[in-house]
């Protein structure tokens, strides 16, 4: 019975990690779109208002920092997914007969 429970719990954990990873991928794609839009707006604004280059760099830096945080979170989720996958594999090798 506990073997069944362990399998179900592992499957739920795997599914949760997969869901989180997909959310991060979607957020990363959305942030990429936002960054591109911000870059385009900044470029147009610079042309029309003569915005200083250092202000543009600071604005782009903030977008980059946010994107880097999302990428780090995604990488952490991918590592967690790999660990869960490895645990599932170990469990299967140990408890399931070929």
Q: Would the pTM count as exceeding 0.75? A: no
pLDDT score, position 98: 61
What would the DSSP string read from start to end of the chain?
-HHHHHHHHHHHHHHHHHHHHHHHHHHHHHHHHHHHHHHHHHHHHHHHH---HHHHHHHHHHHHHHHHHHHHHHHHHHHHHHHHHHHHHHHHHHHS--
pLDDT score, position 22: 86
Give the pLDDT means over successive 10-residue stretches in the chain (98 positions): 74 85 86 84 70 70 82 89 88 78
How many domains are there within the chain? Answer: 1
Give the domain extent around 74: 2-95
């Amino acid at each position: 019975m506990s073997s069944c429970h362990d399998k179900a719990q592992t499957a739920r954990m795997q599914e949760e990690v997969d869901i989180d990873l997909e959310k991060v991928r979607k957020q990363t794609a959305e942030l990429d779109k936002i960054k591109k839009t911000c870059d385009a707006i900044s470029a147009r604004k610079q042309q029309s208002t003569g915005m200083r280059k250092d202000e543009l760099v600071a604005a782009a830096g903030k977008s980059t920092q946010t994107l880097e945080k999302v990428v780090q979170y995604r990488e952490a989720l991918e590592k967690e997914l790999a660990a869960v996958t490895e645990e599932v594999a170990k469990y299967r090798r140990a408890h399931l007969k070929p």
